Amino acid sequence: MTDRVYPTHRALLWDVVAILKEELRRLATEGVSYLQLDAPRCSYYVDPKWREWVRATLDVDPETALEEAVRADNACIEAARRDGVTLAIHLCRGNNRSQRYAEGGYDAIAGTVFGELAVDRFLLEYDDARSGTFEPLSFVPPDKTVVLGLVSSKRPQLEDPDDLARRVDRASRYVPLARLALSTQCGFASTAEGNLLTEED
């Protein structure tokens, strides 16, 4: 087996898409009714420092790169589209040792991501002020559900139920309550070391 060096990130992206399309197609064909992609790269485009990194390191306009990322995700999603299959995407901001790598509101990506991604459900991180306001949710089409990641899996402190209810109420100004759900912002860890929580926490 020889090592393959890709000439561009774009070339690598579409080879990965081919692999994911086949995996998702098989899962849907075998009867899996809920499929969720994790999309940490989308968060590069909410954060000015990462947008600049894309421009400088990849030598591509961030908007162009985001649009291609959405096309790539849509190619994967469409491969799994079947009656009775819910297709979702989680816009991850990083979850390693209770840290995050990107911050900023969804404003910079709302039109492209919410408006063009062909998923049924968006899972969004909203566990602290660095995630911005709920206003970008106004770009979410009326046939999609939004899962609000208001509960933190990074900190041991429990959220105040009244505060959670108030935040859900604010989000419902942009997406009707019937199309909102509540969850943690992410899982309990992105790496084997876990977040800075004990089992008791």
Residue ranges of domains in the chain = 9-184
- What's the confidence (pLDDT) of residue 131? 85
Give the tokens for residue 154.
């990074």
The fold for domain 9-184 equals TIM Barrel (3.20.20)
Q: What are phi and psi of 183, to 5 degrees?
A: -155, 180
| b/e map 44-67, b = 16+ CB within 10 Å | bbbbeebbeebeeeeebebeebbe
Using CA atoms, how far residue 159 sits from 5, 130, 196, in Å, is 47, 16, 17
**Collapsed DSSP state (helix, strand, coil) of residue 89:** strand
pLDDT digits (tens, 9 = 90+) for 35-90: 999 887 777 788 888 788 888 888 889 899 999 999 999 999 999 999 999 999 99
> 153: how many CB neighbours lie within 10 A of its CB?
18
In the chain, which stretches have pLDDT less than 50? 97-98
> 156: how many CB neighbours lie within 10 A of its CB?
12
CA 179, CA 127: separation in Å to the nearest integer?
Answer: 19
- What's the confidence (pLDDT) of residue 97? 46
Which residues, in sequence order, are CB contacts of 200 under 8 Å at separation 6+? Answer: none
- What's the confidence (pLDDT) of residue 166? 97
